[in-house]
Structure 1
Amino acid sequence: MHQPDHVIRRAELPAPSQPNLRLPRPDDDRLLFGRVNWLQLRDGLSLHCSDCEELQDFVTENVVGPRLSFVLFLDGQSEVSYDGLSLTLGHPARRRSPEGVALAMNEPVLFRRHARRGQHIRKLVVSLTPEWFDRCDGGAGGGAVRQFMQSHLAPRVWKPSARLLTLAEQMLNPPDYDPLLERLYLESRALDIACEALGSLGDAPTESTAGLRPHEQQRVRRLTDLLDSGAADGWTLECIAREMGVNANTLQRQFRAVRGTTVFEYLRARRLTQARQALERDGASVTEAAWLAGYNSPANFATAFKRQFGISPRQIRARL
């Protein structure tokens, strides 16, 4: 997967997608520029990663077998359909924070995706087949997970944690390992994505909601919306807690129970993501991006940025 940016042409698509590729100009098969990969990490577990720009409008079609797919869009938007189900995955630039979508398919379906020229896509798709679950201690258990597996084309949305977004960035920019270690690195993170997505479906207490009453969970959702809006940038924890109507220690405990991170770790991750977008989309300098992320020192910013994304700000700039 560790590869330089390049033009992806028709021949690099997975074999099932090539025959049904529809192009406005059949003589031009330049589809994408960046990094795209489709990996079979092991039997029943596959990973698709994209960090690329769509070079033209085109449509791909292929038949997808039974599976659970977990789609995580970091940037960009795609129009897709599964048989009669049409979905818009991702979000317009600068409008919303990343979302994940979980989808079960109990029978083969026709998958269709519409690419749009100029759209920059950064996404991960983790897929698990029923056979993979069968090998995991005889099946997928019961409760909400089993119920979801038995649903068909009934998408569920979940909001990925700050930790999971960090793992996703690491998967898009993995260390320069040898192929075996890289696959182990990617597999562990792919399973983390699947685990968090499935955990969000649970009707029993999970790590993200255990011990919290409904109004406390609602408070954390309101706090997350506040943090995502940027309105609380520069506030102290005590100011944020007053806004939420609770003391700081209680707020921190409840937020950590749901989001898996502290309030300020979440804020830092969000501002680093904004800084990355400024580097990639707006051509900001490293100093400007550091200021946007709240760092007076570009060196400290570079250290935090690489810890978050697995790549330095200067490497991001060099790819433009």
Structure 2
Amino acid sequence: MTKILTDTDWQELWAESEQNGHASFQSKGFETIRKGKLLDVSHTYECWSELRNGLSISIHQEEFIDDLVWVRDIFDKSQFGLSFFLSGKVRIERHGLTDKTDEIVGRYYSECNCDIKETEWWKAGEKFSRIYLKIEPQEFFQSFGEEELEQIPISLRQAVMNGKVQPYYQQGEITQQMWKVLCNILKCPYQGLMKRMYLESQAIELITLHFQQIQEQEIRNHSFPGKNLRDVERIYQAKEILLGNLENPPSLIDLARQVGINEFKLKRGFRQVFGTSAFKYLHNYRLEKAKQLLALGDMKIEEVAFRVGFDSRSYFALAFRKKFGLNPKQYFQHHHKSL
């Protein structure tokens, strides 16, 4: 017999099973564990660990008593996830986003479902287990600089920089390095604070390996044609747009759109033509322009900082000193001793 459940039904089953003593819920420190038999539906174990702002990890094991169709009707708009399959199989359709896909051992997926409705098909008696990383981009990446954010996948970067969350789904292969990290998570030898720190380090390593896999795939799928003069012209056009908008430069996505080139080609092409990233090129140009304006002596330091695109005087002073060995005030005084 095939059962049909929704997320709301699932929550009600947990509550009823806990009342009847068939399931338990335990929260201790950074971990929350739910386990037991959900009436005549499944044997379940789930351990959630909150690791740091914007990052959590769960170990999830499931075995359904009957075939089940699960209709997801509760959404998390801010959630990005990485799901690694350790055993079992499930077929899922993300309506309007993917056809039916089989999620099996040896595969993992990255996702942001937003308001996408899901239907899942589970087989009775098949033991299913996975490790799942939940990432809330604006919290997790809040300490990263703009140049660093250029290197993360576009879906995450959009969510961090302008709050745009677009649904997506992408499968990948669990590499040997990933398997090693997954085993480390399952066999974590620590407790308390050290366990939390250890799991966080392993989770971040999985995210890093995921980013590496995406980057390698992009390189395989795209190349910057160095002999294509039209593309080189677009790179120079992009540079001029950046330098013409020091106070409010466009994002890389908008810049690529303006010059008619995809973002990957723009980033790679900028490095090939100018030897550095677009962000670093702009940063260095701002400082060189500031140096010229300070030498002229017609503007105050705050005005110079604002003119070349620095909102913070303290950050401007730090960046200026790092590049030229003097802070802006010292440089100004050196050129205008009479002042």
Question: Normalized against structure 2, the TM-score is what?
Answer: 0.45
Bigger CA radius of gyration: 2
